[in-house]
Structure 1
Amino acid sequence: MTEFNPTRFDYLIVGAGFAGSVLAERLASELGARVLIVDKRPHIGGNAYDRYDDAGILIHPYGPHIFHTNSKDVFDYLSNFTEWRPYQHRVLASVDGQELPIPINLDTVNKLYGLNLTSFQVEEFFESVAEKVEQVRTSEDVVVSKVGRDLYNKFFRGYTRKQWGLDPSELDASVTARVPTRTNRDDRYFADTYQAMPLHGYTRMFEQMLSHPNIKVMLNTDYREIVDIIPFDHMIYTGPVDAFFDFKYGKLPYRSLEFVHETHAREHFQPVGTVNYPNDYGYTRISEFKYITGQEHKHTSVVYEYPRAEGDPYYPVPRPENAELYKQYEAEAKAREDVTFVGRLATYRYYNMDQVVAQALTTFNKLRARHEARVSQTVTALEV
């Protein structure tokens, strides 16, 4: 690092979501670095930010964020900043007038078709309806090759068309490959080893993460407003990679969401945390926060999610032509020794929260190695 200068930061971090906050904490705590973290929003936490609404109910303004991971390292790291409330998310899909478990499991099939199959029999059922696909390329291929055309049409096609504005046959296989199919009665949405919610919410966890005295936070700020004014040694950028390079190769496609929040004067609005609507209405799902947070309250707050073509970038659109476009920006990013690109938007990938944390921790190890090499060079130069 350069000679200490009280007006100079070692790192300027753009974005106070998971990627930026984890790196700020690690750099400050482990290396003693002076970090300035800026965000154009009026709050920390990125899309995982939560707050109390006018009714006093803890909500997620940017839609439900359910924490789950198989990584002990990620879970142990975040446990430094929060206690946890065990929570296993359950989702129902509104199909043919019934609310049925999703991912598709034994109960889904039996209730939908009025059958009484066992786990062994439902496996045979899937095999009997599955369509042979020579090479799985698209999201449609993934589903019809596992559970056949009827279940695909009832549970996946409409939801995917709403969510992405494209037919599953036009989307990469990764979109629907994320959702498993089960032959037992396991109705949990996730099967990860660690499934829990921050006991006092995500925002409190981020506040703890960024509480180190070496970390300064600047909100309501576009980094371009201050990048030439505040001196720093290295930038960590977690925003959209195409915007960083002024869209020189064109705009990377994203899907956005519009969130409509409601509070109802009743104990509960629906039977589980989330209900999907693959075939009806303009929204894809309704989530009820009290299930997710465990809060007790006489009223309840829910959020409707409406997919949109324009708005804040939430989901990179996984198509081959978009991957090719990103490669041009990726090459530019790799050539920049003065900037480190990390996170969903900066690497144009759909990551779960734990994957972003893991990526940030890996990035920190690379930055630490860079730091130690620079310190070693400085010591050698002084000895000479």
Structure 2
Amino acid sequence: MMSKPSILDARAFDALVVGAGFAGSVCARELADAGWRVLVVDARPHIGGNAFDTRDAAGLLIHPYGPHIFHTNGKRIFEYLSRFTHWRFYEHRVLAQVDGALYPIPINRTTINRLYGLNLDEAGVEAFLAARRTQRLPARTSEDVVLNSVGHDLCEKFFRGYTRKQWGLDLSELAAGVAARIPTRCNDDDRYFTDDFQFMPAEGYTRMFERMLDHPNIEVRTGVRFQRDHTLPPRRKTIYTGPIDAYFDYCYGKLPYRSLRFEHEHLPDVETFQPTGTVNYPNDHAYTRITEFKHLTGERAPGTSIVREYPSAEGDPFYPIPRPENEALYQRYKALAEQLPDVCFVGRLAQYRYYNMDQVVGAALALCNRLLDRQREHTA
């Protein structure tokens, strides 16, 4: 006989925040700084959400839920997080293994010259790509975007296989925005991101979250699973950062997500496993990529720790699958959410958006600004 879920009593608090990742932690801190008493709950035994990091058995700092590389063009967001961490400058670089050799990704001049045995300058690379592009207008799918950018051969070598593994769908079945996240360059810039601010928290993400949630107005309870029907609500607002379909008991059906399975390994006799932080495997193996954490953290120690990522249809929700029918289903849930004036939905899972970390921070700050502006209007 199953025991009844315990009651979560938030009546002594102004706000209940469900989820202690970026969205929840930022909201909790902003409201606490404004004088609200905040209860933060998370079903996992730790804070930080998927950005949680910890030390493995060998003592190296790793990301259990896969690599999280911070980058942003938002000075305001960078300055906000700088309240809770010092930074280590880090520009992420990625190589892709194609036919046994490693090439920079995003595709750049080095990629083209090395792959095809050429010696083109920037103008030559632009002409090379222009001659191979297949015009697909309007670009409705990721296949359209890739063919418009690099043509068939590079599409097959670098994109189609990776996409099939990552999403369980062909490029032609995915919305255009997925492929649009990866640019093509005609110069030798081999940085994965070109944002103005590219750093890693010097002491790790978990330490940053600990400082963010260290406030006399915040109480954190981990290992607590939120259930709407077994919660006594707070005085003002519930801020929900989990899957929006789960909040409504999947009444319209489940929103599709891609999940990941992680295979962590420590190599005690290897100083460096690979030349860059991440190597992609678009056409070989069941995993999509391998990340070596010492590149990301800058730690120096004997041995090295890596993680292989295996995309999966089952498991924790990681990536909303951007297809028109999924967006239509999300909009039905969003309409239900808008009927709940005392509940706010924010974050990748609650808004069914393929957000980067800085975008989640921005969404959380914007939500709290709206809440506090309304409070000031009512008390004016």
Instruction: Bin the TM-score by the shorter chain.
Output: over 0.9
How far apart are 1:68 and its partner, in Å?
0.2
| SS of residue paired to 1:161 | helix
Count of matched residue pairs: 370
> Of the candidates 52, 55, 58, which is equivalent to residue 52 of structure 1?
55
Q: 1:137, 1:161 → 2: CA distance? A: 18
Greater Cα shift, 156-165 or 231-240: 231-240
Structure 1 match to 2:249: 246
| SS of residue paired to 2:151 | helix
In the alignment, does 2:287 pair up with 1:283? yes
Q: Which amino acid aligns with 1:276?
A: N
Structure 2 match to 1:84: 87
Give matches, 1:28-43, under 5 Å: 28-29=32-33, 31-43=34-46
The verdict on how the C-alpha distance between 1:231 and 1:144 changes in structure 2, with shifts beyond 3 A counting, is closer
Q: Could you state the TM-score of these two structures normalised by the residue count of structure 1?
A: 0.95
In the alignment, does 2:363 pair up with 1:366? no
Q: Which amino acid aligns with 2:104?
A: P
> Of the candidates 322, 326, 337, which is equivalent to residue 330 of structure 2?
326
Asked if the contact 1:256–1:310 (Cα under 8 Å) also holds between the matched residues in 2, the reply is: yes
Q: 2:26, 2:261 → 1: CA distance? A: 27
Q: 1:39, 1:232 → 2: CA distance? A: 20
Q: RMSD of the TM alignment (CA)?
A: 1.3
In the alignment, does 2:133 pair up with 1:134? no
Q: 2:137, 2:229 → 1: CA distance? A: 54
> Of the candidates 342, 345, 348, which is equivalent to residue 344 of structure 1?
348
> Of the candidates 309, 313, 329, which is equivalent to residue 305 of structure 1?
309
In the alignment, does 2:219 pair up with 1:216? yes
Q: 1:92, 1:74 → 2: CA distance? A: 29
In the alignment, does 2:277 pair up with 1:273? yes
Q: Please give the per-residue CA displacement for 1:63-94, whole angstroms capped at 9, x wherever unaligned.
A: 00000000000000000000000000000000
Q: 1:227, 1:257 → 2: CA distance? A: 30
> Of the candidates 347, 354, 361, which is equivalent to residue 357 of structure 1?
361
Structure 2 gaps, min length 5: 1-9
Give matches, 1:185-200, under 5 Å: 185-200=188-203
In the alignment, does 2:105 pair up with 1:105? no
Structure 1 match to 2:319: 315
Q: Please give the per-residue CA displacement for 1:305-327, whole angstroms capped at 9, x wherever unaligned.
A: 00000100000010000010011
> Of the candidates 288, 295, 300, which is equivalent to residue 296 of structure 1?
300
Q: Which amino acid aligns with 1:341?
A: F
Q: 1:194, 1:260 → 2: CA distance? A: 30
The verdict on how the C-alpha distance between 1:140 and 1:225 changes in structure 2, with shifts beyond 3 A counting, is closer
Q: 1:234, 1:71 → 2: CA distance? A: 27
How far apart are 1:25 and its partner, in Å?
0.4
Q: Which amino acid aligns with 1:80?
A: R
Q: 1:174, 1:98 → 2: CA distance? A: 28
Structure 2 match to 1:203: 206
| SS of residue paired to 1:286 | strand
| SS of residue paired to 1:22 | helix
Structure 2 match to 1:3: none
Asked if the contact 2:90–2:199 (Cα under 8 Å) also holds between the matched residues in 1, the reply is: yes
How far apart are 1:231 and its partner, in Å?
4.5
Asked if the contact 2:109–2:186 (Cα under 8 Å) also holds between the matched residues in 1, the reply is: yes
Q: 1:276, 1:111 → 2: CA distance? A: 17
Q: Which amino acid aligns with 1:91?
A: V
Asked if the contact 1:8–1:230 (Cα under 8 Å) also holds between the matched residues in 2, the reply is: no
The verdict on how the C-alpha distance between 1:83 and 1:55 changes in structure 2, with shifts beyond 3 A counting, is same
How far apart are 1:224 and its partner, in Å?
1.9
Q: Which amino acid aligns with 2:121?
A: T
| SS of residue paired to 2:104 | strand
The verdict on how the C-alpha distance between 1:364 and 1:229 changes in structure 2, with shifts beyond 3 A counting, is closer
| SS of residue paired to 1:243 | helix
Give matches, 1:171-190, under 5 Å: 171-190=174-193
Structure 1 gaps, min length 5: 1-5, 377-384
| SS of residue paired to 1:347 | coil
